[in-house]
Homo-oligomer: A and B are copies of this chain.
């Protein structure tokens, strides 16, 4: 089975990830997921493609820590985080978060918390290629 936390170039399968998540417990009643994907338009500009840079070793260790923190904070049965580092175009998947818990509230809250925290903690940067040139994305507060 694939690691619960990964950085990879290839796309991921939600079915495969959910199956792996479920394998951890037969008490899981709720699974919340978030998929972030590439848009063809951002901040008023067309976007042809998005590429990434990452501090790979730190990004993976931060994602592992984030997963453990979420499991402890929300009493999850399991959680998974996958981030692609490659060049993507509109519609392509970028990030996958899954939280599994006995009941839905914990799963839903943990999923939201994980994607919010990932954006704050994990050293990955996004560059948009537009008809006007390339630009690193400046996140809003």
B40 contacts A36, CB within 8 Å? no
State which of B26, B28, B32, B102 has its C-beta within 8 Å of the C-beta of A32.
Answer: B32
Which residues of A are at the interface with B, using a C-beta cutoff of 8 A? 13-15, 18, 22, 26-42, 90-91, 102, 104, 107-108, 111-112, 115
A29 contacts B18, CB within 8 Å? no
Copies in the complex: 2
What are 11 contact pairs spanning A and B, CB under 8 A? Answer: A18-B35, A22-B91, A26-B91, A29-B42, A31-B35, A31-B36, A32-B32, A33-B34, A34-B104, A39-B102, A108-B111
CB distance from A110 to the nearest CB of B (A): 11
Give me 4 other A-B pairs in contact (C-beta within 8 A), A14-B14, A26-B91 excluded. A22-B91, A26-B41, A31-B37, A108-B112
